[in-house]
Amino acid sequence: MNDKLQQLSAAVTEGLMTRREFVARAAALGVTAAVANSMLASTAKADGHAKPVAGGTFRMGVSGGESTNTQDPAGWASDVPLATGFFWGEPLVELGEDGVLRGLVAESWEGSADASKWTFTIRQGCTFSNGAQVTAEDVMKTMERHSNEDSKSGALGIMKGIVGMSVEGNNFTCELETGNADLPFLMADYHLIIQPGGGFDDPTAAIGTGAYVMEDFEPGVRATATRRADYWGGSQEEVAHYDKVELIVLNDATARTAALQSGQVDAINRVEPKIAKLLDRSPNLSVKNVSGRGHYVFIAHVDTAPLDNNDLRLALKYAINRQELVDKILQGYGGIGNDMPINAAYPLFDETIPQREFSPEKAAEHYKKSGHDGSPIVLRVADGAFPGAVDAAALFQQSAQAAGIPLEIKREPNDGYWSEVWNVQPFCASYWGGRPVQDQMYATAYLSTADWNDTRWKREDFDAMLLEARAELDEGKRKEIYSQMGRMLNEEGGVILPMFNDFVDAISNDVQGFVGNPSGPQMYWKTFKYTWKTA
């Protein structure tokens, strides 16, 4: 099978087969889309004829920027700030397209036997753009700024488990309340860009260890940066090949595609699934999609009537036609979900968990068993909940109707949706961007004490399993525990998860070396660093 696969992926690299055909053929060989994609990535990279060229300007048209954006990493929440942030700054580590951590500011890291103490060794020769060598002190200060009691950082939630930090020579050590085998993954968070003195003096200075130095930053409009000569990662022939990178904020989908088609930009994010196939046909550009960990959900509070009744939740889970949603809302750019927030893009995913199928009969059966009085179940939804949310809710309503379950759709305004509806109302549409590892996803939204427990899933046995898996260094055992947790949510959880969305980007054919990263769009915003342009 392996030979066959390699043959196939070579065919793609040589342009004899499209990426989608490859994934389909690979699936026939019993390989999941995620594995197939990363397989393809490694072949493309190893391909000899692609030799990087230094120089030129890389221009991106990106959605998800506002004139309210700041250069302080603590306040980043949308795509543009973090895309520009990676120009000038780097966290300790980054998550590669193969799901493996790579060191950036940290050269290496090591955990204690019970995973409760982690030590990161700071890379020698890694300098800030102001010329100073990064010290372990800078790293500790940065972590403090995101976790101390005055912290206004969006990373505060993930820093909670850290109880002590210390510096010894070149090493930064953090101690945890309970063991966490995945701690290094948390350090890849985009808020945790290492700043001189932790950024306490001037959080918006945009001084970091990145390959580029900010030249211009107009919030919600554009950002430009130029290559540093003294970047620790190497010369322009080796990495960060462009002389200059430029980002233009293009929130309007048509404006983005037009800018790419007219050659004003070299790459765009968020191609609308509706037009992706059409766009792919235009000359001089290609649509690139990568299966990710992000998912679109309908979330029910498990402690609020009527959905505190598990039979009613099961009825709804059986009543949603997942394949139809993937076909019509994502136009095939995504995969079906299984009422748990984990898919094959996560490490330690158990492929043997049975997939829940659409079954009006089973739905009707559970609905009858629930004894629901027949009053309509109110589902709140807004266009901003996820792209196509209102249409998805309408499809859900129809398929539920077929099982005799009355759903009432209440449309809410986009404005204020995240503060007034999500995590407040008992049943609504939402999305999750996914997290690099299972532990973080569960800890963010399914732990009893999690601030973002948007399904009000509070189960001591589940929490205990999460903590057990966290400190378990034996991967086999961890996988087993995660599998049980997934099954538990699948059977009893408040999350109705019909689909995982792909990240759909488009790039000009001049751009070489593009490899999708399941963590986010545009190689998780590293396109500027790992691609180059043919002259």
Partner 1 sequence: MHPIIILVVQRLALGILLLFAASILIFAGTTMLPGDVAQQILGQGATPENLANLRAELGLNDPPVSRYFNWLGGVLQGDLGTALTNGRDIADSIGGRLKNTMFLAFWAALISVPLAIFLGLLAVRYKDRIPDKLISAVTLTTISIPEFMIGYILVYWLAIKLRWFPSVAIMNDSMSLFEKLNAIAIPVMVLTLVVLAHMMRMTRAAILNVMQSAYIETAELKGLRMLTVIRKHAFPNAVAPIVNVVMINMAYLVVGVVVVEVVFAYPGMGQYLVDHVSKRDVPVVQACGLIFAAVYIGLNLIADVVSILTNPRLRHPK
Contact between 134 and 128 under an 8 Å Cβ cutoff? The reply is yes
Q: What is the largest CA-CA distance in the chain?
A: 70
Q: State the angle between helix axes of 33-46 and 19-28 in degrees (0 to 180), rounded to the nearest 10.
A: 130
Residue 130 interacting with partner 1 (CB under 8 A): no
Residue from the set 31, 58, 61, 89 that interacts with partner 1 by CB under 8 A:
61
Question: Which of 28, 351, 419, 474 is in the footprint of partner 1 by CB under 8 A?
Answer: 419
Rounded alpha-carbon distances, angstroms, from residue 159 to 103, 164, 172, 231, 339: 19, 11, 15, 29, 27
Nearer to partner 1, 375 or 449 (CB): 449
Helix (H, G, I), strand (E, B) or coil at 280: helix
Q: What residues form DSSP beta bridges with 218?
A: 222
Helix (H, G, I), strand (E, B) or coil at 431: strand
Question: What string of DSSP letters covers 235-272?
Answer: -TTTS---SEEEEEE--SHHHHHHHHHTTS-SEES---
Q: Given candidates 42, 57, 68, 166, which one binds partner 1 under the rule CB under 8 A?
A: 68
Pick from 152, 368, 411, 477: which binds partner 1 (CB under 8 A)? Answer: 152
Contact status: 494 vs partner 1 (CB under 8 A)? no
Write down the least CB distance from residue 521 to partner 1, Å. 17
The single residue among 57, 108, 112, 264 that binds partner 1, judged by CB under 8 A, is 264
Q: Which stretch binds partner 1 (CB under 8 A): 24-32, 145-153, 328-336, 393-401?
A: 145-153
Tokens found for residue 457: 């899933």
Nearer to partner 1, 250 or 485 (CB): 250
What's the angle, vertex CA 112, arms to CA 106 and CA 113, rounded to 5? 140
Which one among 12, 39, 225, 250 touches partner 1, defined by CB under 8 A?
250
Where does this chain touch partner 1 (CB under 8 A) — which range of 295-303, 416-424, 470-478, 492-500?
A: 416-424
- For partner 1, give the closer residue by CB, 150 or 361: 150
Tell me which DSSP letter residue 71 carries: S
Selected range binding partner 1 among 85-93, 131-139, 330-338, 417-425, rule: CB under 8 A: 417-425
Counting contacts by CB under 8 A, is residue 258 touching partner 1?
A: yes
473's tokens: 């260094």
Indicate the residue among 122 and 259 with the shorter CB distance to partner 1: 259
**Coil, strand or helix at 238:** coil
d(CA 189, CA 73): 10
SS3 at position 267: strand
Per rule CB under 8 A, is residue 415 in the interface with partner 1? yes
* 252 lies in the site for partner 1, by CB under 8 A: yes
For partner 1, which residue of 34, 240, 259, 312 counts as binding (CB under 8 A)? 259
What binding mask, one character per residue, do residues 445-464 give for partner 1 by CB under 8 A, x or -?
A: ------xx------------
Taking CB under 8 A as the criterion, the residue among 52, 75, 197, 306 binding partner 1 is 75
* Residue 245 to residue 234: CA distance in whole angstroms: 17
Only one of the segments 155-163, 486-494, 505-513, 524-532 lies at the binding site for partner 1 (rule: CB under 8 A); that segment is 155-163
Q: How many CB atoms lie within 10 A of CB 361?
A: 9
Sole binder of partner 1 in the list 149, 168, 351, 361 (CB under 8 A):
149
Q: Does 204 bind partner 1 (CB under 8 A)?
A: yes
Told to check if 70 binds partner 1 by CB under 8 A, we report yes
154 binds partner 1 (CB under 8 A): yes
How far is residue 384's CA from residue 223's CA, in Å, rounded to a whole number? 26
Q: Is 234 in the site for partner 1 (CB under 8 A)?
A: no
249 is a contact residue toward partner 1 (CB under 8 A): yes
Q: Tell me whether residue 173 or residue 418 sits nearer to partner 1 (CB atom).
A: 418
Residue 386's closest CA among 446, 462, 299, 304?
A: 299
Query: Could you identify the residue written with the tokens 């985009």?
Result: 190
- Report how far residue 379's alpha carbon sits from residue 388's, in angstroms, rounded to the nearest whole number: 15
Q: Which is nearer to partner 1, 129 or 153 (CB)?
A: 153
Query: Among residues 18, 235, 254, 284, which is the contact residue for partner 1, using CB under 8 A?
Result: 254
- Residue 280 lies near partner 1 (rule: CB under 8 A): no
Q: In what order do the strands lie in the sheet with 171-176?
A: 106-111, 117-122, 171-176, 162-168
Among 9, 38, 84, 153, binds partner 1 (CB under 8 A): 153
Beta bridge partners of 407: 377
Around Cβ 74, how many Cβ atoms within 10 Å? 19
Interface characters, 81-100, with partner 1 (x: CB under 8 A): --------------------
Minimal distance in Å, beta carbon 505 to partner 1?
A: 18
Cα–Cα distance, 414 to 386 (Å, whole number): 10
Distance CA 478, CA 473 (A): 7
Structure tokens at 376: 């309509």
Q: How far is the CB of 117 from partner 1 (least distance, A)?
A: 25
Complex with partner 1: residue 389 or 515, whichever CB lies closer: 389
- Toward partner 1, which CB reaches closer, 27 or 77? 77
What six digits make up the tokens of 153?
């950082």
Structure tokens, 396: 């859900």
Measured distance CA(260)–CA(60) in Å, rounded: 9
Judged by CB under 8 A, does residue 287 bind partner 1? no
Q: Which of residues 21-60 bind partner 1 (CB under 8 A)?
A: none
CA dihedral 54, 507, 530, 438 (to 10 degrees): 180
Residues that bind partner 1 (CB under 8 A): 61, 66-72, 75, 77, 149-157, 204, 216, 218-222, 248-252, 254-255, 258-259, 261-265, 415-416, 418-420, 422, 451-452
